[in-house]
Structure 1
Amino acid sequence: MEEKEYAGDYRIEQSFTFGRHHFVIGIDENAAEKYLLAERQATAFGYEYREAVVSNDYLEIVNEFALRIQDEVEVLRDIHSERGSDGIPFGPEACREDSSKQNYENQILILNPAYLSPEYRTKEDQLVLAISGFGCAPGRRAQRILCQSLSDGEKFYIRGYDVLGIISQQCVPHWAEVSANLIRDVVQKERQEHKAPNCER
């Protein structure tokens, strides 16, 4: 039997992820205000529920949920506008020929759109720099790859099968090349510092 999720005494009945937010709606039939809307965030110790509102009016809760979704829609629209995004993702035709047989480390990769949430299926959000990991090596794509987003700098892990391939040079946007080079410089500096002998006594 699947274990139910609770925010305090509120049993979570619905959850929805959109953009950078994970919304939950919960019910506590014994509470003075039976319905809860909150934003769930993962921590080292489990989940925290923030920006919570409660009400006895379920429609009020749903309306607040709709308003928060709309706010996030506007944020994403602004981001797309600032980037000049056409909202269309890269396909395999933008990858180097036989890139699946090449080492991914230090390369700009195109994420498979299916890996991303629908609102992030854009060229800008697909581009990452592969930093390290066993999954970078051909034949080991089931292993993890540490990568960094070229659009927002976030670091996260993927698997090799989450990647369409290495982007072909003629398809690399100028901003992405600049971002990738900055990340490469930081990674190289960190590796040199890690290897440097400690001369302090």
Structure 2
Amino acid sequence: MEQEKRMAGDYEVYQALPIGRVEVILGIDTMNAEKPYLVCYCDQNNLFGIDQYYGAEGYADYLEAMREFTKLMQWEIEKLQTERSAIPEPMAAILSGHCLPIKGEDELSGRLVVIRSERLRPEFRTADHQLVWVTGGFGASGHSRGRAVYVKRLYSGDECRYNREDLAGFLKPEHTPAWAVEKLALLQVEKQKPRSRDEAR
């Protein structure tokens, strides 16, 4: 069976390199005589994981398009390097041996879990991206047929979605880094704060 072509509008995706939180895309439309080459970003940062293309620019010349493609890649690399250099402590990857397995009946909401490193892009296979606090989703319930688990990264507070099978397990207490203990304590404080009338509505 012929594989369906990946399209960015009228352009067939010719190159798609994931870097950081996006993909950098090079597309080709052989029917477009004026600008047959397209360079843009793509991300799936939405509830349904659907491709969203943005920042698109058309080019008449392939080499010019490739120059822009590599420029976007370099920008994303520099952003990642800046982000990493802002973290004051080492963030070694959390291994499966550091975790207690998640059982089918386990309720995950309101618990700290670990994302499997192989489910993350190589540049994100570090503890600050692996340790997440579960906020909900059908997959967070025990014995649920649902898969979606909504989480908040413990280090950054970024919200994202994974599937239950993407989770390596519960982090063993003896492997919990000091920064994570501090973040968990702050979470507990936030949970105990009385909600205002506006928040309660």
Query: Which amino acid in 2 is paired with 1:37?
Result: V
Q: CA deviation at 1:184?
A: 4.8
Aligned to 2:39: 37
Aligned to 1:17: 18
Structure 1 segment 25-174 matched on structure 2, within 5 A: 25-29=26-30, 30-41=32-43, 49-84=53-88, 86=90, 88-96=92-100, 100=103, 102-140=106-144, 143-174=147-178
Q: CA deviation at 1:137?
A: 4.4
Query: Which amino acid in 2 is paired with 1:136?
Result: A
8 Å contact from structure 1 (residues 26, 36) kept in 2: yes
Q: CA deviation at 1:55?
A: 2.3
- Shift in alpha-carbon separation, 1:35–1:167, aligned structure 2, 3 A: same
Cα deviation code 1:153-187 (max 9, x no counterpart) = 22223232211111122222232233334445556
- Shift in alpha-carbon separation, 1:123–1:25, aligned structure 2, 3 A: same
8 Å contact from structure 2 (residues 128, 156) kept in 1: no
Task: Measure the CA separation in 2 of the matches of 1:145 and 1:171.
Answer: 23
- Shift in alpha-carbon separation, 1:116–1:179, aligned structure 2, 3 A: same
- Shift in alpha-carbon separation, 1:55–1:146, aligned structure 2, 3 A: closer
- SS of 2:86's equivalent in the other structure is helix
Task: Measure the CA separation in 2 of the matches of 1:153 and 1:22.
Answer: 22
8 Å contact from structure 1 (residues 111, 164) kept in 2: yes
- Shift in alpha-carbon separation, 1:25–1:187, aligned structure 2, 3 A: farther
Structure 2: gaps spanning 5 or more residues: none
8 Å contact from structure 2 (residues 107, 140) kept in 1: yes
Q: CA deviation at 1:59?
A: 1.8
- SS of 1:50's equivalent in the other structure is strand
Query: Which amino acid in 2 is paired with 1:17?
Result: P
Task: Measure the CA separation in 2 of the matches of 1:69 and 1:36.
Answer: 15
Query: Which amino acid in 2 is paired with 1:151?
Result: Y
Task: Measure the CA separation in 2 of the matches of 1:120 and 1:134.
Answer: 25
Task: Measure the CA separation in 2 of the matches of 1:195 and 1:151.
Answer: 24
Query: Which amino acid in 1 is paired with 2:68?
Result: E
Task: Measure the CA separation in 1 of the matches of 2:62 and 2:20.
Answer: 24
- Shift in alpha-carbon separation, 1:186–1:146, aligned structure 2, 3 A: farther
Task: Measure the CA separation in 1 of the matches of 2:187 and 2:71.
Answer: 37
Q: CA deviation at 1:38?
A: 1.1
The share of aligned pairs that are identical, in percent, is 26
What TM-score, normalized by structure 2, do the two folds share?
A: 0.75
8 Å contact from structure 1 (residues 87, 123) kept in 2: yes
Cα deviation code 1:54-102 (max 9, x no counterpart) = 3222122112211211221122122222224656421122124x55475
